[in-house]
Amino acid sequence: MRFPKRYSIILLTFICTSVCYLERIGFSIAYTAAADSIGVNQSSKGLILSVFYYGYVVSQVPGGLAAQYVGGRRVLLFSFLLWSLTCAFAPLDADKVNMMVVARFLVGVAQGFIFPSIHTILAQWVPPHERSRSVSLTTSGMYLGAAGGMLVLPSLVKYKGPQSVFIVESALGIMWSFLWFRFSSDPVRSEHPKAAAAGFGEHNLPVSREKKIPSAGNLRRFAKIPWKKIIFNLPIWAIVVNNFTFHYALYVLMNWLPTYFELGLQLSLQDMGSSKMIPYFNMFIFSNTGGILADHLITRRFLSVTKTRKLLNTIGFVIAALALMAIPLFRNPSWTVICSSISLGFLALGRAGFAVNHMDVAPRYAGIVMGVSNTAGTLASIVGLELTGRILEAAKSADMDLTSIECWKNVFLIPAYLCIFSSFFFLLFATGEKIFE
């Protein structure tokens, strides 16, 4: 039996997100080790960690536009090569802070093109009845990359130094770029490969009409992007709000959990063994479980697309909120790992709700809508990282011990409350129906 080409594309995008998040968690680990060794304060640390996301936020919508008009495949290759080469020459030196800031900003700009490009590519290649599990598998690469980074990179920092992390990440990025150049392609079924194909596989959905792929004569009317409808549409805002919350919670945990273990629990990452990768591996499992479950509920007609998205989003975000609230209550590292694993796992389950919803409501403009949505997610990353640093620095200024519960309580309660709010917002306003023709 011939291996479908779209499976190769999905596998390559899965590896792509794995390498991207290995890079992100790698910088957090390497910089934390370097900063702590010279006594950088928590507020300054939060600022440096957030520089990447300043670059990331400015390129989200341009990334969606570039993928729409130039083609997601080409944009993805270019952005991957750019961040890989920048990472290779990025310094991690107290005397070269300005160079490090510029390098992190450029890496953020380059990586900002990646997810809008991926959504454009998947909208071209993946039929709607495979949409949930395909997007979930692709995005689960983020968590597997983070898990692998948490397992391997602390030891690499310990024995080879923080700078070695950048060399490894750059090499992996260049290797993936070669694989993508060699094995990726545009789908042949579309007469216009730069725009997302519509109608492919829609007969497998419980409520929709099969539509024709546009002919060359009709392509011009699809080139105009309905910005007003995107900006003033409540179902789009439901996606945006949940993307904001997801990334706030994810990046606070991803970037500050190492500090919480080191300072809050007085436990070195090197001494934690494989347990430090469990939260991210749990995300990998839950993300794929959510995708498979969503497609099963939809294609077997147990629930409509709308009800499926709302159900999984609500379960994921509400349970994640409860787990976030529990993290500072336990002073035992094992329970901290369990609570963070539950929180991150169910956040990943929720992606089968809001994250796939881009392609439900706007398959032809999936990259554009993803760019808008991910802009909000990136702003959340900036706010979360800097606010957490300020919370901890304010606690120190008030002579509070960073090992105390009170010092860390607000760090975890803020994303918990956001999860509860955004889950209700999605219940009220989200839809699984196509709203962009």
DSSP 382-414: HHHHHHHHHHHHHHHHTT--TTSHHHHHHHHHH
User: Which CA distances in Å does 429 have to 113, 240, 295, 309, 348?
Assistant: 28, 11, 21, 12, 21
5-183+234-429 fold = Growth Hormone; Chain: A; (1.20.1250)
**Shortest CA distance to 332 belongs to which of 281, 389, 275?**
275
pLDDT tens digit sequence for 369-384: 888 898 898 888 888 8
DSSP 84-115: HHHHHT----GGGHHHHHHHHHHHHHHHTTHH
Q: 227-236 contacts: CB < 8 A, separation 24 or more? A: 229/435, 229/436, 230/362, 230/365, 230/368, 230/369, 230/372, 230/436, 231/372, 233/435, 234/429, 235/357, 235/361, 235/429, 235/430, 235/431, 235/435, 236/361, 236/362, 236/369, 236/372, 236/373
State the amino acid at position 435 in one-letter form. Answer: I
**Shortest CA distance to 115 belongs to which of 76, 155, 83, 156?**
76
Distance between CA 313 and CA 328 in Å, rounded? 24
Query: In this prediction, what percent of the chain has a pLDDT beyond 90?
Result: 31
Sign of CA dihedral 416, 422, 427, 432: negative
pTM for this predicted structure: 0.76
Residue 436: other Cβ atoms inside 10 A: 19
- Sketch the domain layout of the chain as residue ranges: 5-183+234-429
Q: Which two tokens stand for residue 306?
A: 């709308």
What is the pLDDT, as a whole number, of residue 431? Answer: 92
- In the predicted model, residues of the chain with pLDDT beneath 70 are 1-2, 42, 94-95, 188-223, 267-274, 276, 402-403, 437
Distance between CA 139 and CA 148 in Å, rounded? 15
pLDDT tens digit sequence for 113-150: 998 899 889 888 888 778 788 888 898 888 888 888 88
DSSP 9-28: HHHHHHHHHHHHHHHHHHHH
What is the pLDDT, as a whole number, of residue 188? Answer: 67
Q: Which two tokens stand for residue 305?
A: 């697309």
